Amino acid sequence: MLIRLRLEPRLLEEVVHLELRRRQEGGDTSLFDEYHREADSLYKLAPEHRDGEFAALHRRLFRKVGFEGRITEALSAQRGELAELESLTCLRTLRPEDEGADLAAPVAPATSRAAVVRIRAARFLALDDLGRFLDHELVHVGDLLSAAFGHDPGSLTAISPHRRRLVQERYRAAWATCVDGRLSRHGRRPLAGRGEHREALHRCFPALSDLELDGLLDRLWNDERPTHARLLAVAVGRGPREPHQPGAPCPLCGFPTHDWTDVTDDAPIRAIHLDVPDWEPDHGLCERCFEMYELRSLTQA
């Protein structure tokens, strides 16, 4: 099946302009001149026609400098896994933390599968980096499309809000490790190396000993056919009691905290359970939340 590639005009515009500037600063003004030869005349058009023509120009140059080719190359490399995909839309984003791929909500016909990749324009300035990013994200898309993977967003929403943030972070780290492990085994360059993934896993699972952490990293890195269920099990898994990471979000209020508190008395625990039944002392909480529940337990008493 042919995958339709959709590119957001704002992304195209920013990428083209960044590329023009990069080349110009490097002393090559040919593309700059070519762009202005075409673009300047577009101002003669009636305002309502300009946007479309500019978009076409940006798309043309985007293709000409090889960016589109890099995307299609990444798609081709995984054509098997992406067989069901009808379209891929690239959207512009500003922040690194907003980058990533996801499946678009199904539209009519309900069976059609569309993916969205949010990407910063600056990535296009380094084709190698762009390639690694696309390869990585498209493996995620492949997993999402795969029945064997069994993606089930509902399983995350079933987790109580206070814990969902932590589980999501762990899930993200574990899945990313699996993706890069597979890419490296298939001779493609991963987005991040084992070392970086180990660090990320350590941040999410600070209680694990070095040995346990290495074991988890191996397991994930070498998992050729990960499943949503397995990854979720890793993410929600509760090992031994964990020391909490400074700056990690409190599972109750969600504010990042450097003041984790131990709860040993039954009364505050009971007070917490009235609001958050699936919270457990091992999850920890920030000092502010503890104070509030301690106070409430005194009032209730």
Tell me which residues touch other proteins (CB under 8 A): 40-41, 43-44, 93-95, 98, 161-162, 247, 250, 252-259, 275-276, 285, 287-289, 291-292, 295
The two tokens of residue 287 are 């000092």
Quote the CA–CA distance of 252 and 273 in Å, as a whole number.
Answer: 11
Instruction: Name the 3-class secondary structure at 91.
Output: strand
State which residue, 188 or 288, has the beta carbon closest to other proteins. 288
Pairing of strands 4-7, 85-92: parallel
State which residue, 44 or 80, has the beta carbon closest to other proteins. 44
Which residues share a beta bridge with 100? Answer: 118
Task: Report which residue type is found at 278.
Answer: D
State which residue, 15 or 289, has the beta carbon closest to other proteins. 289
State which residue, 58 or 162, has the beta carbon closest to other proteins. 162
Check: CB of residue 39 under 8 Å from CB of residue 123.
Answer: no
State which residue, 33 or 287, has the beta carbon closest to other proteins. 287
Q: What is the DSSP string of 206-243?
A: TTS-HHHHHHHHHHHHT-SS--HHHHHHHHH---SPPP
State which residue, 28 or 278, has the beta carbon closest to other proteins. 278
**Peptide linkage before 96 cis (omega within 30 of 0):** no
Quote the CA–CA distance of 102 and 258 in Å, as a whole number.
Answer: 32
Instruction: Please report, for residues 110, 251, 281, 298, the alpha-carbon distance to residue 257 in angstroms, rounded to integers and kept in the order given.
Output: 43, 10, 16, 24
CB atoms within 10 A of CB 112: 13
CB of 86 to other proteins, least distance (A): 27
CB of 165 to other proteins, least distance (A): 12
